[in-house]
Amino acid sequence: MRRVVLACVFVFATNPGWGGAPIKAFEPGKPPPAEVLKDVPVKAVVAEFLDPDNTHLGKEVGYVLWRELLTSVSDQHGVGVIYAHAAGKKRLVDMLQDKYHEAALEIAKSQNARMAIWGALTESDGVLAVDTYLSLVGDVPQQELAVKMIVDDFGRKKPSGYEARVSRTRFNFPRVFITKEQLFDRPLMVAADTVLYNTAGRGKVLRQAQYNETLHTDGVEGEWFRVLLADGTHGYINSINVYLPPREVDASDLPLGAKPAENQEGETTWLPSNTIGAVLEARFAGKSGLFFRIKTSQGEGWVPADRARPHFSMPLVAFTAGLYRYQLGRYDLAASAFGNYTHLQGVERDAPSLSTAYQLLAASYLMRNTPADWALHSLDAAIETTPFDAGAYSMRALASLSKPEGRVGDCLGDLRHALDLDSEQADARNTVALLLGIKPGRPNPIEQRGMSFTMTARDVETLHMMAEKYRISAK
Amino acid sequence: MPDAAEAQVVLKPIPFTMAADLERLRTFGEYVNALGVVSGLGISDHGPAGETYELSSIFMIIPHSSQFEPPELWINDAPMPAASIGRASLDAKLSKDWGRAAIVALATRDLRNAESLQVAERAEALRKIRRYLIAERADVGGNEGQSAAALQQLIALVNRAVGP
């Protein structure tokens, strides 16, 4: 039997790079900085945070977010995170005002980045209120984040034409209230062999710092993380040499190992559900990847980072980690990241971003060809979160069609709902047009497209009514 | 602003001492050709649990159209302990509602401007308005039905004029 499969439309060809890079930007009258990380296909630009209250933390919060994002994708090839900051000690207090967003987007475009991230912070009674925003650049939503069904026609895979995608390109994530201690007082991991200095800005060398070593930072000064030394004094390490692990992880149902390795010797402790562990240390263990040493009520031990649900300082990190993985075609990992986002505390305070995370979770399921019920379940949650979102109904229609032996009748309600909400919804119109193009009266008309769903005479009648109401022609 | 809206909205603080006088606020808003005027007041109370503030704010939409009478958006907060009131917590509560009201204000203005256009241009202008209203409505959460009412009303108005 011919089978409906789903596949990514975006394929990376060769030897993609990886990395993080800071650039000097936000200089009115000057052209945007030259492109960095040219061989990296999926890049994001993080802009220095706007600091209207002049807390002198806009640069520092930007550095923390930059290094957290890099840590969240440290297991991926082909990704880059660029930090765009004002030159020297200049800070983005009021130098840009309402042009800040446009400037961040322009910088992202000049870097050929697909995601622009920026934010603003205010301070009240020692608590920082951090707003974070993300814009998808160019045709990312149209192409890289699309779900496109392909058909397997006697071994030849070809596009079916059935598509769905998220409709939003800009996201305002829920405001995060966080203390300076929570943001800056934490373990960090040395990302490359370097040295510690006695001041922020290359003073006297205090000692070597080795790759994979965990240090404890208790503050950030510009681009320098201040770390505690064994004798109680401080040293400084440049942010370019730092990974910033999450402060805690959800380690539910994971093995707690005695060492950072995939295969543990002796008896393994399995952590129960709802186990939150404070991260004490992070370490790369060769081919086994990144591990976190965590402290839980069950004791201390190591868990694999790619199976733990990290709680970074800002929910945007989990969301962006999913976007990177989805664009690289690593749908299992994308599903894990988007699933993590939907479980984070407080994300329900911004319905559009939560709904989009559910839709991208569903898209990840559909693209990796997992049971359609998983995708349908996520899309039910998306629709419950934003009930007027035509794109969510359109994607649920596609998920219904992708079920083995799917029935057209199952998706018509969602298509009608999508068009009632937005008669111009392109994916819903396209799906109706394609279904209309299936000619009745042939022995098995569905077989024309190699799809396995079935259509009844009543479905045909409903489709024609929709076509008339919304002026849709058959494809 | 939703994806489909091309306009930029700028917020400017104005020192004003007669915030409770709504007609004067409206006159001022019309004079400076504003989309809306946001104002509010706080009433303090010294109760057994300490000092509290009851806050009330209003988003007054300034443009009017012959087809749509924009609502005045009031937000009343239950008394809050004075110690917990900070700028960050306040604008976190209010900014989403104000943002949505700004879209309604923008649509009201654009509807009014469309009235003077020729038939074909008017239909195109109305479709443009509908696009950003639909984009904004798509962001309405499952428990925010109330704030979708004005959007729904405006979309229905456009649908009646240009069809689905």
Q: Which region among A1-10, A26-35, A283-292, A370-379 has the lowest average model confidence (pLDDT)?
A: A1-10
Cβ contacts below 8 Å, chain A against chain B, sum to 62
Determine whether the interchain pair A175/B141 forms a contact, defined as Cβ–Cβ distance below 8 Å.
no
Determine whether the interchain pair B138/A391 forms a contact, defined as Cβ–Cβ distance below 8 Å.
yes
Alpha helical stretches, state H, A247-346: 315-327, 331-343
Rounded mean pLDDT, B98-118: 90
Rounded mean pLDDT, B102-126: 92
**Chain A CB within 8 Å of residue B124 CB:** no
Q: Which residues of A touch B89 (CB under 8 A)?
A: 124, 129
Rounded mean pLDDT, B112-135: 94
* Nearest chain B CA: its distance from A64 CA (Å): 21
**Chain A CB within 8 Å of residue B12 CB:** no
Confidence of residue A27 (pLDDT cuts 50, 70, 90): confident
Helix axes A457-470, A426-436, angle to 10 degrees: 130
- pLDDT value of residue B158: 94
Assess whether pLDDT exceeds 50 at residue A382: yes
- Nearest CB among B88, B137, B148 relative to A124 is that of B88
Rounded mean pLDDT, A154-159: 76
Q: Which region among A65-74, A221-230, B59-68 has the lowest average model confidence (pLDDT)?
A: B59-68
Determine whether the interchain pair B144/A423 forms a contact, defined as Cβ–Cβ distance below 8 Å.
no
**Chain A CB within 8 Å of residue B86 CB:** yes
**Chain B CB within 8 Å of residue A167 CB:** yes
Residue A197 to residue A237: CA distance in whole angstroms: 7
Confidence of residue B118 (pLDDT cuts 50, 70, 90): very high
Assess whether pLDDT exceeds 50 at residue A446: no
Give me chain A's average pLDDT, please. 87
- pLDDT value of residue A246: 96
Assess whether pLDDT exceeds 80 at residue A267: no
- Nearest CB among A122, A168, A384 relative to B87 is that of A122
Give me chain B's average pLDDT, please. 81
Residue A322 to residue A335: CA distance in whole angstroms: 7
A114-137 per-position pLDDT tens digit: 999 999 898 877 789 999 999 999
Q: What percent of chain A has pLDDT over 70?
A: 90
Q: Which region among A118-122, A280-284, A307-311 has the lowest average model confidence (pLDDT)?
A: A118-122
Assess whether pLDDT exceeds 60 at residue A443: no
pTM, to two decimals:
0.90
Assess whether pLDDT exceeds 50 at residue A453: yes
Assess whether pLDDT exceeds 50 at residue A16: no
- Per-residue burial over A79-93, b if 16 or more Cβ lie within 10 Å, else e, is bbbbbbbbeeeebbb
- pLDDT value of residue A94: 56
Q: Which residues of B touch A98 (CB under 8 A)?
A: 8, 10
* Nearest chain A CA: its distance from B156 CA (Å): 11
B61-72 per-position pLDDT tens digit: 999 888 888 887
Q: Which residues of B touch A169 (CB under 8 A)?
A: 3
Question: What is the distance between the terminal CA atoms of chain A, rounded to a whole angstrom?
Answer: 25
- pLDDT value of residue A5: 38
Comparing CA positions, the residue from B93, B91, B111, B92 lying closest to residue B151 is: B111
Q: Are strands A18-25 and A79-86 parallel, antiparallel or unpaired?
A: parallel
* Nearest chain B CA: its distance from A122 CA (Å): 7
Assess whether pLDDT exceeds 70 at residue A449: no
Interface probe with A: pick from B134, B153, B155, B158, most Cβ of A within 10 Å: B134
Mean pLDDT is highest, among A22-31, A71-80, A417-426, B101-110, for: A417-426
Determine whether the interchain pair B138/A127 forms a contact, defined as Cβ–Cβ distance below 8 Å.
no
Rounded mean pLDDT, B42-56: 78
Interface probe with A: pick from B103, B139, B152, most Cβ of A within 10 Å: B139
**Chain B CB within 8 Å of residue A98 CB:** yes
ipTM score for this prediction: 0.86
Show which of residues 88-107 on chain B sit within 8 Å of chain A, judged by CB atoms.
88-89, 92
A72-98 per-position pLDDT tens digit: 998 889 999 999 988 877 766 555 555
